[in-house]
Amino acid sequence: MAPTDFQTPRKPLRTEQQLSPPATMSPPNVPDIVVSPASPVIDPSKADFEEGYIPIALLGDGTYGEAFSALKKDIADVVISKLLDGEKPDLPHSKVVVVKFAKPDDSGKLGAHLAAEIHIMKHVMKNMSHPLLNYLLDARSSGEIQWLVTPLCSGGDLDRFTSAYPDILTSSFVWHVAFCLVKSLIFFHYGIKDFTSYNHAVTDSWPSLIHNDVALRNLFIKPQKNVNDFPDIILADFGISKHVLWTADLKSLDKNQLEDYREAIDVINELRKRSKGRAIDHDLTTWVGRLSKMKKGSENILPVARKFVEVARMCRDKSKLPMHPKVVAALKKVDEEGMKKALEAYYEQKKAKEAIVKPPHVLPTHLDKASMRRQSCGAPLFLTSTFVHGFFIVTLQWVLYLAMAESDNGDFTRTVRGVYMRSIGNIHVGSAPPSTTTPDETGFVQPVPAHPFYLSKSR
């Protein structure tokens, strides 16, 4: 049938070879699809923390969380303000703190360890102040936001420090670690600080606590003011500590607290092993054996533990030797470059956020003040020239007054007044001079009589 206006001829079916374009045929001109990289996932805990703090450097990264050194923003603002004023303040290393963040588990939920530690330190340990226990400075635990701030122990944890500097492991230092560790546990368990009295009674109001994780990685080194003295050994990390509340659990409390001392013995023995013979001490072996034989119950633990602390202090002081120079240098070391970079980054971020005009004294790279002092020389010159100009005007005022008051020479009076008006005209900066009347005989315009420096005398 012939095609009509309503019918179109059928095209023959294309073969498989016709469907595929030949090798010489260029592909159709389709614009490339640009796939933008995925936006970085913003950690709500870190975003909340950085509202008031500046992170400096990563200190540790573990299974359940990570830790950074940080500085409060109000302290950083004071330092930057002094730098911009041309001063040279000391970097606030003593104000640096540590912040811990929780890591999500496989399901995406934050682990319970940091939330438990925040609860223990914020509510249970709020009145437990001891120089050998870590304490809370700031914290936030609300939904997806979890972070905890504690003081910085610049020596780091005992595990890494003794691995990097095994020369510190003398017999005296191991006695010192044993002294600090057992003393902090006695306070943590029973709230006892006074070792001069042998009253073994435990206060009923003291919380029933178990640390559960006494290990080298949870003991931190805090240098003393005299760095040649042995540093304090701080007991920290209460993420899996237990606060026993129910009467049924009190039966196992003494047993679990005894386990903390067993773990303390393991710490002491591990340090002796790492010392490679430098910490061989018969008395230490004897007293570690006595600790291991303690029975559960405060009436059995306290007499032995308190005597151990007394002996440890005497043996430490008796055999104390100066620390190795490398160890002293390591304890003095601070993260100078990290602090500078953090302050510079915060300053640039603050300028961009507030859209402020770059001040004449810009915070230089690496906080170098030499260029700032050179730039500040222009201000004294400007003030000096302004003072000289003002002094010249005041002098002309008095000359003009005397000339008009005492001299009958009108030409001299008009000449001095003309010079004065030239000087007055130089101080009209950014605006037109006052409204004027017709010029006088000298050719200079007269200011309106309301001008504060205008003097006249009727002749």
pLDDT digits (tens, 9 = 90+) for 245-260: 755 566 678 788 999 9
- Average pLDDT of 87-111? 85
In the chain, what are the domain boundaries?
44-151, 158-332, 377-459
Looking at residue 36, its pLDDT comes to: 40
Angle between helices 378-406 and 410-425 (to 10 degrees): 160
How far is 127 from 397, CA to CA, in rounded Å?
Answer: 74
Asked if pLDDT for residue 96 goes beyond 90, the answer is yes
- Average pLDDT of 1-29? 43
- pLDDT bin (cut points 50, 70, 90) of residue 292 is very high
How far is 237 from 259, CA to CA, in rounded Å?
Answer: 17
| Contact indicator for 109, 79 with CB cutoff of 8 Å | no
pTM of the model: 0.68
Both tokens of 372, joined, read 């700032």
How far is 409 from 416, CA to CA, in rounded Å?
Answer: 11
How far is 85 from 141, CA to CA, in rounded Å?
Answer: 39
Query: Of 27-36, 131-140, 379-388, 395-404, which one has max mean pLDDT?
Result: 131-140
Contacts of 405 (CB under 8 A, 6+ apart): 457
pLDDT digits (tens, 9 = 90+) for 293-312: 998 888 888 889 999 999 99
How far is 40 from 230, CA to CA, in rounded Å?
Answer: 45
Contacts of 137 (CB under 8 A, 6+ apart): 97, 149, 150, 151
CATH class of 158-332: mainly alpha
Asked if pLDDT for residue 230 goes beyond 90, the answer is yes
Please name every residue paired with 41 in a beta bridge, in sequence order, or none if there are none: none
- How far is CA 457 from each of CA 220, 247, 406, 419, 449, rounded to the nearest angstrom? 87, 104, 11, 18, 12
- Average pLDDT of 395-419? 58
Both tokens of 361, joined, read 């004294």
Write down the residue that tokens 């205008």 correspond to: 454
| Contact indicator for 69, 335 with CB cutoff of 8 Å | yes
The residue among 203 and 14 whose pLDDT is bigger is 203
Asked if pLDDT for residue 147 goes beyond 90, the answer is yes
Complete DSSP assignment for 271-318: HHHHTTTTT--HHHHHHHHHHHTPPSSHHHHHHHHHHHHHHHHHHHHH
Looking at residue 380, its pLDDT comes to: 54
| Contact indicator for 122, 138 with CB cutoff of 8 Å | no
Both tokens of 109, joined, read 């939920």
Looking at residue 85, its pLDDT comes to: 87
- Average pLDDT of 9-33? 42
| Contact indicator for 143, 102 with CB cutoff of 8 Å | no
Asked if pLDDT for residue 27 goes beyond 70, the answer is no
For residue 185, give the H/E element and its range.
helix 171-190
pLDDT digits (tens, 9 = 90+) for 53-73: 999 999 988 777 899 999 999
How far is 176 from 184, CA to CA, in rounded Å?
Answer: 12
Both tokens of 50, joined, read 């950085």
How far is 435 from 417, CA to CA, in rounded Å?
Answer: 18
How far is 173 from 230, CA to CA, in rounded Å?
Answer: 7
Q: Which long-range contacts (CB under 8 A, 24 or more apart) does 391-398 make?
A: 392/423, 393/420, 393/423, 393/424, 393/427, 393/453, 396/420, 396/423, 397/453, 397/455
- Specify the CATH number for 44-151; select among 3.40.50.2000, 1.10.3720.10, 3.30.70.990, 3.30.200.20: 3.30.200.20
Both tokens of 48, joined, read 């909340």
Please name every residue paired with 234 in a beta bridge, in sequence order, or none if there are none: 220
Both tokens of 149, joined, read 């701030």
Percentage of the chain with pLDDT > 70? 64
How far is 235 from 216, CA to CA, in rounded Å?
Answer: 10
- How far is CA 225 from each of CA 46, 69, 81, 246, 331, rounded to the nearest angstrom? 32, 20, 28, 43, 11
List the one residue out of 84, 163, 131, 128 whose CA is nearest residue 360: 84
Both tokens of 1, joined, read 């049938």
Least confident window among 197-201, 405-409, 430-434: 430-434
